[in-house]
Amino acid sequence: MKKINKWYPGITMVGLFCLLALAGLVYSADQAPATAQPSPRATFDFERFTRNKPFTLNTLPTTPYGPPWADVLDNPATNFLECRGAAIALCYYSGPGPITPCTLDGLGIANCTCYEIPRGELYLVDINAILNRDVYLRTVAACGKDGSKCRPTGSIPAPVCEAINNNTLIPGADLISTFSLYFREQIPISLTSCPTPSAYAGCMTAPCKRTGKIDPKTRLPLVQCGCPVFTGPYQVGTTTDHCVLESNHVWSAAYTPKPIPIPTRGR
């Protein structure tokens, strides 16, 4: 239980997602959750990564609030699966730039610049946001639909962790976008709720390519991730007065419909 208790405050606080990514982001106490909706057909593909390699996009209705790329946490205490092993991309802080912008490509994808987190660090995956259908089905079969049978709340490893660590989740990707508390001390998590439906980048389990560039401040490599775009209410992992960004930029974000009540920022 000590391990679970150590992670629970972070898991309850982040919802990215990309994002975002994202440990129980907050929604206003007097705001009703978004109306449940069926998963729309995908308006994007990952062919730029997968080429001719076998891959099936997950379009199953993983939650009532949107498709897998909506990055929904309907139970933050269990939906986040604990993994360790691979280097991963952290898009939780991506959006307006200048170091880590998310730019719409007009084809249903936001090209998000994200940090590469070193191999061996603990990372978290939202079970509702697994973009590989076969891996999602295997993970749900092992962990339960809410993820509670797998670590950290359960005792078994999640199949999605193995797929990411083996670099088989999305063929052709150099690494996968998940969530990590790697920056929790250098860049504290601040939360902004954006209840008006708008476009955002759902970066959880999105494919990424290395760029060869280094962020001069953190000294971490920068990677380019192809994050699917979804329109709905969301939460951003930073304090901001601008839920909708200028030009063709969008936030890497996620949505938690029933989180702890904290006052809303933004508009």
- Model confidence over 174-199: pLDDT tens digits? 999 999 999 877 777 778 999 999 99
Domain that holds residue 35: 2-236
| Lowest mean pLDDT, pick from 4-8, 43-47, 53-57 | 4-8
Identify whether the C-beta of residue 253 lies closer than 8 Å to the C-beta of residue 22: yes
**220 is a domain residue:** yes
According to the model, what pLDDT value does residue 116 have? 98
Cβ within 8 Å of residue 166, ≥6 positions away:
none
Surface-to-core class of residue 193, CB atoms within 10 Å of its CB (0-12 exposed, 13-18 middle, 19+ buried): buried
According to the model, what pLDDT value does residue 82 have? 97
| pLDDT (average), residues 58-64 | 96
**267 is a domain residue:** no
**253 is a domain residue:** no
pLDDT at 19 over 70: no
**242 is a domain residue:** no
State the residue for tokens 């797929």.
163
| pLDDT (average), residues 118-136 | 97
**247 is a domain residue:** no
| pLDDT (average), residues 82-87 | 97
| pLDDT (average), residues 220-241 | 95
**56 is a domain residue:** yes
**266 is a domain residue:** no
pLDDT at 200 over 50: yes
- Looking at every residue in the chain, the average pLDDT score rounds to 84
Total domains in the fold of the chain: 1
| Lowest mean pLDDT, pick from 78-82, 238-242, 246-250, 262-266 | 262-266
| Lowest mean pLDDT, pick from 21-30, 140-149, 152-161 | 21-30
pLDDT at 18 over 50: no
- Residue 245's pLDDT band, with cuts at 50, 70 and 90, is very high
pLDDT at 77 over 50: yes
